[in-house]
Amino acid sequence: MSAAGAWRAGAGCARWTAWDGWRAEIDDADEAALWAAAREGRFVLARCQECAAWNEPGAQRCARCAGMISVEPATGSGVVDSFLVVRPPAVRAFAGRRPSGRRPAVLALVNLEEGIRVAGRLDGLTPAEVTVGQQVQAALDLRPGTGAPTVVFRSPAPAMAAAGAD
């Protein structure tokens, strides 16, 4: 994959999506809505127009019925179902390949209130702070050089966490 772009499958044919730093060339309305939501700090999911099933962000067709997808706002609230910790290499032979100051990354499978399971990175949490069953809040993250926003999870705001405890 070149730094100028990447091939992506979409709506029945392959297409070229190019990016320049934070901005992508957008070639359909749902993808444009996904990028707009990420820029505005809103969490959205793909929803089937035919069977109303929720799908992961960026889905081109419904996983259940292959129907057309539209982007809709979602709560993003969920519970950690499983997680793993990806640690920087500790072997001396690979030490030069590790960026300095790099911390372990926590990746999680989260069951969202909308009824689907989504994978994503846990931001702002150390491996010791993560537990199965922990409440998290989803967000869309924009990173330079990526073809689309990615899902990240964070601890819910204190007011939100307190409301869930009642």
pTM, full prediction: 0.69
- Residue in the block written with tokens 């993560």: 130
Helix (H) or strand (E) holding 79: strand 77-86
The larger pLDDT score, comparing residue 146 to residue 83, is at 83
> Which tens digit of pLDDT belongs to each residue from 24-61?
444 566 677 777 887 788 888 889 999 999 988 778 88
- Best CA proximity match to 98, nearest among 107, 108, 83, 86: 86
pLDDT at 85 over 50: yes
What pLDDT is recorded for position 112? Answer: 94
Per-domain residue ranges for the chain? 5-165
| Phi-psi category of residue 165: left, alpha or beta, with phi > 0 → left and psi -120 to 50 → alpha | alpha
CATH topology of domain 5-165: OB fold (Dihydrolipoamide Acetyltransferase, E2P) (2.40.50)
Instruction: Answer with the residue of higher pLDDT: 163 or 7.
Output: 163
